[in-house]
Structure 1
Amino acid sequence: MSDPRLSPIPELTTRSEPGQVVAPVADLCRSPGGPRDRQLLFGDRLTRLGADTAGFTYVQAEKDGYCGHVRTTGLGPARKATHWVISPATHVYSEASFKSPEVCSLSFGSALTVTGTVEGYAKTAEGFVPLKHLREANQRFDDPVAVAELFLGTPYLWGGNSRWGIDCSGLVQAALLACGIPCPGDSDQQLILGEAATAPYRRNDLLFWKGHVALVRDSETLIHANAHAMLTAIEPIGAAIDRISAQGDGAVTAHRRPELGVS
C-alpha cells in the first residue's frame, strides 16, 4: 500500500508546476490551515500540484516527496540554487554590512541563488548573506552527528525542521540530507534507512522507539530532539532507554546503520 504522505491525492492534483519556498520557514499542513505535518525551508524545491485554496497550495516537496498544503504567499518560481546555509542560522542583510538592517533570518539547510559577492557577502535577490555561513550547493558534510550537533539547544517543535524548532525526525533528516544521504521526513518512514545493526553502537547509528528516533553520537551517548528536554540534547544511551521505557513509550524497536558516503 502506498504511503499517503508521499502519494499525491488524485482529486487535489490539477497541475504540475515547479516552484520553491520563498518564506524562511513554511509549514506543510495536511489540509488548508490544518495541522502541521512537516516544514519546508527557504529555497526548498517543490511541485505545485493543486489550485490555490483558502490561501494554501497543494504541493509535493522535492527533497523527500512529502505532500501537503503550504501558504501560497510563501511560494515562488523555482530557481537553481548555487549555495546553501551551513551555519545553524544566518541573517540576510539589506546591504553588504553587518551594521545594515536584516531582511530576514534563515535556518541551516536553506538554499540560495547567489549572483555575486561583495566584501565577504553573497549577493542574492533577497539581500546579502555572510559568505562564511554558506557552502556551494554540491558541497556536503560527511558526518551526520556533527550536523546534528549544530542544532544543540534548538527548541523542540512537533513537525519542525528548522533552527527555530525541530523534532526528532526533522533532526535526523537535516543531518542526513546535509551529508548527501536521502532521508524521509517522519521517523516511521526512516526505518528503511541503511541496514539492521546490533551492538556495539557506532557513531551515526539510528535508534528507534515507537514515534521517536535518535542519532548515536558514540558508544555511550546519543543526540536527539526530544519533548522531555524540549530541545535538541545529548543524553547517555542507557539513561535514554530507561527513561523512555519508564514514561510508557516502550523499548527500542530498531537499530539501523545508514550507509554513509551516499549522494
Structure 2
Amino acid sequence: MSLDRRITPATDRVALDSLRGILDRPAYTPGRAARVAVPLADLMAAPDGGRDRQVNFGADVTVIETRDDWSFVQTVPDGYCGWLRSAALTDQRPAITHQVIAAATHVYPAPDMKQHQLHALSLGARLSVASIEGRFAALAGGGFVPLQHISDGPQDDPVAVAEVFLGTPYLWGGNSDWGIDCSGLAQAALTACGIPCPGDSDLQRDSFPEVSDIQRGDLLFWPGHVAMAISPEMMIHATAWKMSVIREPIKAAIARIDAAGEGPFLGIRRPGQPR
C-alpha cells in the first residue's frame, strides 16, 4: 500500500499501532508523547535530509522511532511526520496555557526587559505559564516573556494574524517569523485562531470546502502555492517571487502566475467550514 509519507506515522522499521493491518512493518509502537523544547526545530524527510516543515516551541509530538541523535515523530494536531533532532524534545509537558501572538518575543532570565535575553520565540509558540509577575509571564520551564506578546485564547481573524508576518523573508518549509513559506503562513494564521490546518498547500486544499466567491480569510490555490484573501480584491502570501510575505491584488497575481507558467488558478477554499 502506498501512503503519503508526510502524514503516515511509520518509518521503514516501526509504525504506530493504529497502522496494524494497514501497513506491514517489523515492529509497532503506541508512541511516546513529547514536546518541542527549542525555539524552532526543522522537521526533516530523513535524518540529515531536506526540511519539510518546522515545528515551534511547545508543539506536542508522538515519538515513533529514535535512531542515534534523531527521532521520527508525528506532530499534534496536524499529523505531519518527519525526523527532528532528539535533543529538541522533552518529556516534560505541563499544561499549555498561552500562545505567542506577536511576530516574535524574547524569553528573559528575570522579569526585566533590560536583562540579556535567553532566546527568542515566534508567533505560534505554545507556552505553559506558571504565574504572572508584573508585566511578565513566568514559564513553567523557566524564563519570562512579556505579557503584551501572549494570549490565553485563540485569535479571531486569520488575516490579521497573517499580516503580522508582512515582510518576513520567504523560507522553504518555514513556519516562523525568521522565515516562512506559503503553506506555513496559512497554517500559522489559521492555527492561531483555533482552526486546524495541515502543513502543506495540497493537503490544505484537500481539507477545506470549495466555494465560488472570495471572502476575507479564504484560501486561494495554485499548483504548489496558497494565498489568503484579505478581501475579494486583495490577498496576502509568502512568495519566492519577492522572497517575502507581501500583499498583492488577486487579479494581478492570477495573471502573473499564469504568465510565468505556474498556473492555473485552482480555486477558492473556505477554512473553518465542514467539507
TM over 0.5: yes
Q: Distance in 2 between matches of 1:12 and 1:156?
A: 34
Contact 2:66 2:86 in 1 (8 A): no
Q: 2:242 aligned with 1:229, yes or no?
A: yes
SS in 2 for 1:148: helix
* 1:78, distance to aligned residue in structure 2 (A): 4.0
The whole-number CA distance in structure 2 between the counterparts of 1:97 and 1:224 is 36
Identify the match of residue 39 of structure 1 among 54, 60, 63: 54
- Which residue is 1:220 aligned to? 233
Corresponding residue for residue 73 of structure 1: 87
The residue matched to 1:170 in structure 2 has which SS?
Answer: helix
Q: Which residue of 2 aligns with 1:161?
A: 175
**5+ residue gaps in structure 1?**
none
TM-score where L is the length of structure 2: 0.90
Structure 2: which 5+ runs fail to align?
Answer: 16-27
Residue in structure 1 matched with residue 215 of structure 2 by the alignment: 202
The number of residues matched between the two structures is: 257
Matches within 5 A, 1:24-63: 24-53=39-68, 55-63=69-77
TM value normalised by structure 1: 0.94
Aligned equivalents of 2:237, 2:146: Cα separation in 1: 29
Identity %: 48
Task: Report what 1:175 is aligned to.
Answer: 189
Tell whether 2:193 aligns with 1:191: no
Check whether the contact 1:168–1:213 (CA below 8 A) recurs between aligned residues: yes
SS at match of 1:31: coil
Deviations 1:220-256 (A, max 9, x none): 1100000011011100111111111111101201211
Give runs of aligned pairs for residues 116-135 of structure 1, distance below 5 A.
116-124=131-139, 125-135=141-151
Letter in 2 for 1:99: K
Distance 2:144 2:164 in 1: 22
Residue 193 of structure 1 and its aligned partner are, at CA, apart by 3.2
Query: What is residue 98 of structure 1 aligned with on the other side?
Result: 113
Q: Choose which of 11, 14, 36 in structure 2 pairs with 1:12.
A: 14
Aligned mates of 2:190, 2:231 — CA distance in 1:
17
Q: Deviations over 1:37-80 (max 9, x none)?
A: 00000000001110233x21111101210110001111111412
Contact 1:206–1:216 (Cα < 8 Å) also in 2: yes
| Cα RMSD for the two superposed structures | 1.4
Offset at 1:259?
2.6
Check the 8 A contact 2:106/2:120 in 1, yes or no.
yes
How far apart, CA to CA, are the structure 1 residues paired with 2:270 and 2:127? 31
Give, in whole Å, the separation in 2 of the partners of 1:182 and 1:242: 30
Within 2, Cα distance between the matches of 1:216 and 1:254?
Answer: 12
1:141 is aligned to: 155
Cα offset, 1:119, TM superposition = 1.4
The one-character-per-residue Cα deviations of 1:138-172 (angstroms, maximum 9, x if unpaired) are x1112111110011011100000001000000000
1:18 and 1:78 in contact (8 A); partners too: no
